[in-house]
Structure 1
Amino acid sequence: MNILNENGPERWPAFRKLGFRFSFIFILSFILVFNNGTYPLYGYISTPLTHFMQRLTPWFAENILGYSYDHSIFINGSGDTSYAWVSLLILLLLALVGAALWSILDRRRASYTSLFYWLTTAIRYYVAFMLINYGLYKVFYMQMQPPRLTQLLQPLGEYSPMGLAWTYIGYSQGYNILIGSVEILSGLLLFRKTVVAGALITVATSINIMAVNYFYDVPVKMVSTALLLFSIFLLLPYLKALFAIFISGKPVQLLPIQQPLFNKSWKRKSLFIAKLAVLLLFIVQQGMGILSTKKMIAEYLTKSPLYGIYRIEQAGTQGKSIPEDWRLIVFEIDNNKVLIRNTDYTPQRESVVIDAAGKKITLNNYQFDYQINPDGNILLTKTFNEHTAHIKLIKQDVQAFELIQRKFHWIQEYPYNR
């Protein structure tokens, strides 16, 4: 199946030309609308298109589909919003209509070899840049974080499927580096001569990403599916060759898709400079993004002055200043919130204000003085008119958790599965 190959037939069959026209319009429009910050500086250039889609999509949803949703929600942490799916439908319809009109107006065209090259170039850079970005965030351990204190206390049944997947992947930095490194290998797509190897890697990588997104309800199903389909599209000209290699065991030569020839020296130099500029901008963008994200994570994950898990002991205290059924309290991030687990182990978030300099803490609308003992336990005291309340927070050993305590072992006489 030597489809759309420079070395293939000079004239394409009608169905092939129709398929290309649809693919050209749909893929390019998808990349433009769902760019996800992939191309350097594209976010600034695409502002008019973004504003246009944010007006067209809600109108189309309500007036054509009769579908109502919260119009203030566009593309956020979720890539599978109502806005995204309706926008995808618009792009599909645009591609169908556009392909039909194009076929009528350009029916005498023999082939689209040059346009196919430029389309594959756009796809190669889109898939490579996106997966390199994902890979770098995993290698630098920024996408999935190790389990936090609140998660160590969280029963399995309280996890969402996505939370379970994020915790599973985030637990191991080594695993993050491994899968991130494989995603970075998609950079092979940036070079014409290695596009087959790169596309095979991105197919396998995208299937893994899709599996997690689909089966653990991670809301990036649309984009991950696109990554797989785009990677397969890059392999279409090589299907016969790949079948010969992997199935028939025959030797074949994988010829790269021929780049359109430029008869002017300045055009060739301009193309080289443009490619170099895009790659340099991407490298700078990734570097700045990593530094910015690491700073943001560090600020967000600033530890509380009382960081730790504590068991609450207030036996014998008169005039309870905190609810009697509170059993555990977790100070983790310095964000004026703590996690409480009561006697039923029900989780609840409570506001807290900690004055580390004055050794005071406001909890449950009471202000306590606190003292940290050498053993890590905390003593809260609150003086009322007729008595003084003493509440002891007994620090729990986080290292005692099986998930934290258990390390790598070369030799295991029996499986250690708990």
Structure 2
Amino acid sequence: MLFTIGGSVLVVFVYGNFVALNGLFQPFRAALAQIGSVLMRGRGVAMDTTNSGDSLGDWCALVGCLVFGIVAAALWSVLDRRKTDYRSLGRALFEVARIGLVVELLAYGLAKAIPIQMGYMTQPAHQLPLVGDLGLKDTLWTFMGASDAYSIATGLAEITAGLLLLWKRTWLAGGLLAIVAMAQVFLLNLCYDVPVKILSGVLLATAIALTAPCWPNILRVLTNTTPLPPKQLWPAPGTRRLRLGASSLGLVAVVAHSALMATLAIIAVIDIHSPRSPLDGEWQAISFTIDGTPATITAQDPPPWANVAITDRPDSQSLITQTPSGATTSWALDLKDQTLLIRRHLSDSPTPIRYHWNPDHTLTLSGTLANHQIEGRYQRRPMDRPTSPFRLVQPAPDPDLPKTS
């Protein structure tokens, strides 16, 4: 039962998350989701085509894995009831779980060590919203993305755990470090509503399961008592040639997948930090008129754009507008012939907003919005966030400024 349940969960949620294997295991995930949904809800479930995590279909698939594992184990036991020793299955599951955990640790570690996972939070689109208006996930992503140094440090911890898991003499240290790293990730995902709760929970459970046979000795070391004879988990059973072949195959898979993820991360980092036009950046209004009349802070139809953030990067294009009250609106953006084509929803028809560079290095935006003619003149708005990741000597606080905390 441990083999069938653990194996199905690993295949669906860990190996199915690999870039090269996602499409291969998707039908299996969908079938298990229907089984789980029928048992829980009495009807089928639609699978999320956006590949977002923690959807209803994913939770139903997790239930389907449990049901499938129990039924498969029962049938297996009946058909193979004469066999009494299944230790080889445990060792096989150990190897499958170890390789899957290594690949995921290296993939997510590389995405932080090469700052891509949260690095896009430095783009103009994410600079204007007020902190109080951010959702829990965006709050966490903003915190992580604000410091590349911290993101890199957390990524290196995951990479180190993955590398240590690869070798016989260090796999236990890697497993224990993986528990610490994944416990933090799972807790952050749970508390900040990040839709990777199932995957991070499965990876945490995998790290715990891999190291579980060594817990008695770990506790004895911590309590300064005599250790027990170690349990043999490594290498897997079989001939030396078979063991070497399996290890080599796993190592090749890890290296290939990690190289692919590193290459994609490097390309994404370059795209994130490569503005394609001078419009890219944050802009503050010098003047704003609605139907030729200067707008006031109470104008509601449409509200004036006090600030705008234009993101024009190879990986994304967007327009963020901010009202005097601080509320922001996100627009899909296409640039064409000195015109911003903006859409509030992807299904909407584009609204053309003309832009023009002025001799005084300001930007003018004009067009028709909500049946009103709008025109705004903008100058670049520098952000106050310091760029240095470390500051050991703090400046003395200004005694003339009021305290805010």
> Is TM (by shorter chain) over 0.5?
yes
Which residue number in structure 2 is paired with residue 346 of structure 1? 327
Counterparts of residues 234-245 of structure 1 (less than 5 Å): 234-245=210-221
The Cα of 1:126 is off from its aligned counterpart by: 1.1
Indicate yes or no: 2:128 matched with 1:153: yes
Task: Please show how residues 371-390 of structure 1 align to structure 2 within 5 Å.
Answer: 371-373=357-359, 376-379=361-364
Q: Structure 2 vs 1, CA of residues 68 and 206 (structure 1 numbering), >3 Å: closer, same or farther?
A: same
Using the TM superposition, give the Cα deviation of residue 254 of structure 1 relative to its aligned residue in structure 2, in angstroms.
Answer: 4.5
Q: TM-score, normalised on structure 1?
A: 0.77
Q: Deviations over 1:125-179 (max 9, x none)?
A: 1111111111111111111114333333211121111111111111111111111
Q: Secondary structure at the match of 1:259?
A: coil
2:76 and 2:258 map into 1 onto residues whose CA distance is 38
Match of 2:392? 410
> Percent same amino acid at aligned positions?
22
Q: Distance in 2 between matches of 1:24 and 1:224?
A: 20
Task: Indicate whether 1:99 and 2:99 are aligned.
Answer: no
What residue number does 1:131 align with?
105
In the aligned structure 2, how far is the partner of 1:199 from the partner of 1:56? Answer: 29
1:1-400 to 2 correspondence within 5 Å? 22-37=1-16, 41-43=20-22, 47=24, 50-55=26-31, 57-58=33-34, 61-62=37-38, 65-67=41-43, 69=45, 71-73=46-48, 76-78=51-53, 80-104=54-78, 109-145=83-119, 146-186=121-161, 187-250=163-226, 254=230, 256-260=232-236, 262=238, 268-296=240-268, 298-299=270-271, 303=275, 304-314=277-287, 319=292, 325-334=304-313, 337-350=318-331, 354=335, 368=354, 370-373=356-359, 376-379=361-364, 391-398=376-383
**Alpha-carbon distance in 1 for matches of 2:185, 2:310:** 34
Indicate conservation of the 8 Å contact 2:333/2:341, yes or no.
yes
> In 1, distance between residues paired with 2:289 and 2:57?
57
Q: Could you say if the C-alpha distance between residues 328 and 236 of structure 1 is closer, same or farther in structure 2, counting changes exceeding 3 Å?
A: closer
Q: Following the alignment from structure 1 to structure 2, what is the Cα–Cα distance between the partners of residues 158 and 250?
A: 56
Task: Decide whether aligned partners of structure 1 residues 280 and 397 sit closer, same or farther in structure 2, where only a CA change above 3 A counts.
Answer: same
CA distance in 2, matches of 1:31, 1:351: 37
Asked if structure 1 preserves the Cα contact closer than 8 Å seen for 2:116 and 2:268, the reply is: no
Q: Is the 8 A contact 2:364 2:377 kept in 1?
A: yes
Structure 1 gap segments, 5+ residues each: 1-21, 383-388
CA 380–76 in structure 1, closer or farther in 2 if over 3 Å, else same: closer
Give the drift of 1:406.
Answer: 6.9
Q: Secondary structure at the match of 1:169?
A: helix
User: What SS class does the counterpart of residue 34 from structure 1 fall into?
Assistant: helix
2: CA distance, partners of 1:236 / 1:131: 19
CA distance in 1, matches of 2:292, 2:73: 77
Say if 1:77 and 1:414 are closer, same or farther in 2 by CA, change over 3 A. Answer: farther
For residues 57-103 of structure 1, give each alpha carbon's deviation from its aligned partner in whole angstroms, at most 9, with x where no partner exists: 3365247632564x14157132x111111111111122223334444
Q: How far apart, in 2, do the equivalents of 1:74 and 1:366 lie?
A: 31
Secondary structure class of the residue paired with 1:392 = strand
Partner Cα separation in structure 1 for residue 2 and residue 84 of structure 2: 17
Counterpart AA for 1:309: E
1:236-271 Cα deviation digits (max 9, x unpaired): 2212211111123546665642535545xxxx3354
Number of equivalences: 377
- How many Å apart are 1:283 and its aligned residue? 1.8
Once structures 1 and 2 are overlaid, which stretch shifts more, 86-95 or 320-329? 320-329
Q: Is the 8 A contact 1:308 1:330 kept in 2?
A: yes
Counterpart contact for 2:165–2:174, Cα < 8 Å: yes
Please tell me whether the aligned partners of residues 124 and 280 of structure 2 are also in contact (alpha carbons under 8 angstroms): no
C-alpha separation in 1, matches of 2:17 and 2:108: 10
Cα offset for 1:343?
2.5
Post-superposition offset of 1:231: 1.4
User: Which has the larger displacement, 341-350 or 209-218?
Assistant: 341-350
> TM (normalized to structure 2)?
0.79
- For 2:352 and 2:49, the matched residues in 1 are separated by 41
Q: What is the distance in 2 between the residues matched to 1:345 and 1:185?
A: 42
- The 1-side partners of 2:20 and 2:318 are apart by 37
Q: What SS class does the counterpart of residue 117 from structure 2 fall into? A: coil
Structure 2: 5+ residue runs without aligned partners? 296-301, 343-349, 368-373, 398-402
Secondary structure at the counterpart of residue 306 of structure 1: coil
Give the letter aligned to residue 123 of structure 2: R
Residue identity in the other structure for 2:386: I
- Alignment deviations for residues 337-358 of structure 1 (CA, whole Å, 9 cap, x no partner): 4211123322123466545xx7
Residues 192 and 116 of structure 1, relative CA distance in 2, 3 Å threshold: farther
How far, CA to CA, are the matches of 2:111 and 2:187 in structure 1?
19
